[in-house]
């Protein structure tokens, strides 16, 4: 999944794919990002311990070198795209239209391109991987979603982001994957207003950094019934599911569920991520039956350094006859 999402965001941002699907190898950029993000977690922890920074200062250049390669490559690709004479309607086209006196500077364009590539590839690939894993571990959900997809369209070409967004159970599967395996298992910070704010029944002074960890919230029995179980039915309305299932999950706290964060600073790539997830997963389930290979039953037990440290996930794909 990292191959296809990285190739897609490369084409949409820079006008050319990174060629991961063709070569069958991760592009060095992805490896630089993974390494840099993991290192950042350790260095942020170090900064919280007074006096230890000076002892470990020689290690800081390693982090800078890792990110430096990523920054330099991004700058190169951004400049190549800015010099490209094309009217293709990609993301960079809209960014470059704002490159005037009141718009974005070249450095701001570079910064945006960097965020787009990192956020638009790894996070989506993570959700897709989790979705496949949990579906293969829940055959009832797997059978329901494949039946819905394969009976809702006459031909594969009828599937697009809009038509797939109208399938209740399919979209419930994606929401549940986002709940049990959030792409960013961290706390996205917010700052309280100058006058302070009441949060969870307690007053928090102004200028304080606060946040709610996605994974912790999603795994709490105070917020969800049977939170450890992959149950897409919890996202169905009374009209789209059974009354019994609806009542079973009636007390689930779905309103605060915001895997893309909330407010004016939420994820700018939310719509793109949903489009990618729907198209990739929809076509995958249309064309193939999927089964988990032996030995990967505990794949979800992973470490996380802002991003999940995913190990390989092996599944067996069997072409579906007649579709």
Task: For each of the domains in the chain, give its residue range(s) and CATH number, in order of start.
Answer: 1-120 (no CATH), 126-323 (1.10.630.10)
Is 267 flagged in the annotation as binding? yes
- The tens digit of pLDDT for each residue in 257-270 reads 888 887 777 888 88
Confidence bin at 76 (pLDDT 50/70/90): confident
Average pLDDT (161-166) is: 97
Look at residue 202 in the predicted model and tell me its pLDDT.
94
Q: CA distances (Å), 148 to each of 169, 174, 292, in order?
A: 7, 14, 21
Segment 144-153 long-range contacts (CB within 8 Å, at least 24 positions apart): 144/169, 144/232, 145/169, 145/170, 145/173, 145/232, 145/285, 146/285, 146/289, 149/282, 149/285, 149/286, 150/285, 150/286, 150/320, 150/323, 153/286
Dihedral, CA of residue 266, residue 164, residue 159 and residue 30, to nearest 10: 30
Is 26 exposed, middle or buried, given 0-12, 13-18 or 19+ CB atoms closer than 10 A?
middle
* pTM score over 0.85: yes
Confidence bin at 241 (pLDDT 50/70/90): confident
Average pLDDT (225-235) is: 96
pLDDT > 90: percent of the chain = 49
- The tens digit of pLDDT for each residue in 291-306 reads 999 999 999 999 988 8
Look at residue 62 in the predicted model and tell me its pLDDT.
54
- The tens digit of pLDDT for each residue in 56-71 reads 666 665 555 667 777 8
The Cα 182–Cα 175 span in angstroms is 10
Query: Is 90 exceeded by the pLDDT of residue 193?
Result: yes
């Amino acid at each position: 999944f990292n191959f296809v999402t990285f190739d897609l965001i490369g084409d949409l941002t820079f006008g050319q794919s990174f060629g991961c699907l063709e070569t069958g190898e991760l592009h060095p950029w992805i490896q630089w990002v993974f390494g840099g993000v993991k290192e950042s977690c350790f260095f942020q922890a170090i900064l919280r311990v007074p006096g230890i920074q000076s002892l470990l200062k020689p290690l800081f250049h390693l982090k800078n070198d890792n990110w430096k390669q990523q920054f330099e490559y991004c700058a190169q690709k951004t400049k190549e795209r800015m010099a490209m004479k094309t009217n293709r309607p990609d993301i960079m086209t809209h960014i470059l239209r704002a490159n005037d006196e009141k718009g974005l500077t070249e450095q701001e364009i570079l910064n945006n391109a960097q965020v787009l590539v990192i956020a638009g590839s790894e996070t989506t690939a993570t959700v897709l991987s989790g979705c496949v894993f949990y579906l293969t571990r829940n055959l009832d959900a797997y059978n329901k979603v494949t039946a819905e997809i394969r009976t809702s369209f006459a031909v594969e070409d009828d599937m697009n982001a809009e038509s797939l967004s109208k399938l209740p159970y399919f979209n419930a599967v994606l929401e549940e994957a986002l709940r049990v395996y959030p792409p960013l298992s961290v706390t996205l910070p917010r700052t309280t207003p100058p006058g302070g704010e009441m949060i969870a029944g307690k007053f928090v002074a102004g200028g304080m950094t606060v946040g709610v960890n996605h994974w912790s919230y999603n795994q709490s029995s105070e917020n969800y019934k049977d939170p450890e179980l992959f149950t897409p039915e919890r996202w169905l309305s009374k009209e789209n599911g059974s009354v019994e299932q609806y009542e079973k999950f009636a007390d689930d706290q779905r309103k605060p569920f915001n895997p893309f964060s909330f407010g004016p600073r939420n994820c700018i790539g939310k719509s793109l991520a949903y489009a990618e997830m729907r198209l990739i997963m929809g076509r995958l389930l249309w064309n193939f039956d999927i089964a988990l290979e032996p030995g990967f039953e505990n794949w979800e037990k992973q470490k996380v350094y802002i991003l999940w440290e995913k190990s390989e996930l092996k599944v067996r794909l069997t072409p579906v006859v007649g579709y």
